[in-house]
Amino acid sequence: MVAEANGDLAGFVIGFLSPSQPDEAHIHFTGIAPRWRRTGLAQDLYERFFTTAREHGRTTVRALTSPQNTTSIRFHESMGFTSSEPIKDYDGPTLDRVTFVRHLDPA
């Protein structure tokens, strides 16, 4: 999902429909330009992703972030995700992560 403003990139969500888990979609990476933060753009992009996931029969969306990224943790929780405690070495030695899961209503 990409959002532009006046020809400039304002934000994006990179996600995918899991090929091995037919009920899941994953948000892999999100970026919002500094001047577009706290405008609702990230929420809009996530909602678009949720709609696409539902249209493809997905009922669960997963995401992750580092435990230090408290802004991301707060954002995901505000979007209805349940967060885990930090998982030690999730992405390799010293790369701890917090995982998120959100269940979607069917389309």
51 lies in which domain range? 2-103
Report the domain count for the chain. 1
Q: What is the mean pLDDT of residues 57-74?
A: 97
CATH number at residue 42: 3.40.630.30
Q: Spell 53-70 as b/e; 16+ CB within 10 A means b.
A: bbeeebbebbbbbebeee
For the entire predicted model, the pTM comes to 0.93
Residue 74, pLDDT above cutoff 90: yes
Q: What is the mean pLDDT of the chain?
A: 96
- Note the pLDDT tens digit of each residue in 11-53: 999 999 999 999 999 999 999 999 999 999 999 999 999 999 9
Residue 7, pLDDT above cutoff 70: yes
Triad 43, 106, 44: Cα angle to 5°: 10
Residue 80, pLDDT above cutoff 90: yes
Give me the pLDDT at residue 57, please: 96
Residue 107, pLDDT above cutoff 90: no
